[in-house]
Amino acid sequence: MATERRSQSQAPRGGRGGRGGRGPRAPGPERLEPELIETIVSINRCAKVVKGGRRFSFSALVVVGDGERRVGTGLGKANEVAEAIKKGIEQAKRAMFVIPMEESTIPHPIIGESGAGRVMLKPASPGTGIIAGGGARAVLQAGGVRDVLTKSLGSNNPLNVVNATVAGLKALRRREEIERLKEAGRRATE
């Protein structure tokens, strides 16, 4: 049920054409942010029974990435779907991190855990594609990983699967980083 949207980076805030009232803009290099991929993984409806009937509220699980190693997730909650999605996107943009990659895949196998969700991530040879389902696929596509094998081992709740995938990606280390840590450990024991 994942839907995908692409957004342009927002214009600067402030009155009078977004320049904050400082007069004409001085010539200079334009800062262009890459176009972000926004994927809505799931939308949940929650009902609260009150005196006059039922009150509904919504939560939206959103994944945002630039398709080039940066990805973030967010869970927005509001009384309207559009507002929940907007909040989720803002939270995901704040939570973005860089995925350590080797060419088009991840550096080593790993299992990410979050709550009852467990997701196994394995590197794949070029041309394999993203072998994943649901929330894990959304995170990996938005992050720019092109070749990877995954398997959801625990809960199939989209929130747990997305968070477990993110936990696995955050725990990844590059080969040089692991070798540096091993060398530091050897020096400490001498």
- Greater confidence (16 vs 107) lies with 107
Q: Are 84 and 158 in contact (CB under 8 A)?
A: no
Question: Closest by alpha carbon to 146, among 163, 164, 136, 131?
Answer: 131
Nearest by Cα to 2 from 61, 86, 69: 61
Cα–Cα distance, 175 to 108 (Å, whole number): 9
The band of 185, judged by pLDDT with boundaries at 50, 70 and 90, is: confident
Please say if the pLDDT value at position 72 is more than 60: yes
All residues at 6 or more sequence positions from 171 whose CB lies less than 8 Å from its CB, including other chains: 110, 112
Q: What is the pLDDT of residue 48?
A: 93
What is the tens place of the pLDDT at every residue in 84-103?
999 999 999 999 999 998 88
- Which range, of 3-7, 28-32, 68-72, 75-79, averages the lowest pLDDT? 28-32
User: What integer is the mean pLDDT of 177-187?
Assistant: 85
Residue 7 pLDDT: 53
The residues near 125 (Cβ < 8 Å, ≥ 6 apart) are: 105, 147
Asked whether the predicted pLDDT for residue 164 surpasses 50, the reply is yes
pLDDT, position 183: 86
What is the enclosing helix (H) or strand (E) of 90?
helix 81-94
Which helix or strand (DSSP H or E) is residue 166 part of? helix 158-171
Q: What is the pLDDT of residues 3-61, one digit of tens each?
A: 666 555 444 444 445 445 555 554 444 444 568 989 999 999 999 999 999 999 999 99
What is the reported pLDDT for 123?
A: 94
Q: What is the pLDDT of residue 131?
A: 94
pLDDT in tens, 115-163: 899 999 999 999 999 999 889 999 999 999 999 999 999 899 999 999 9
Contact assessment for residue 76 and residue 83, using Cβ atoms and an 8 Å cutoff: yes
Token pair, residue 121, equals: 């991530």
- pTM check: above 0.75: yes
Give the Cα separation of 31 and 163 in Å (integer).
31
Q: In this structure, are residues 61 and 45 in contact, taking their beta carbons and an 8 Å threshold? A: no
CB atoms within 10 A of CB 86: 15
CATH fold for the domain made of 100-177: Ribosomal Protein S5; domain 2 (3.30.230)
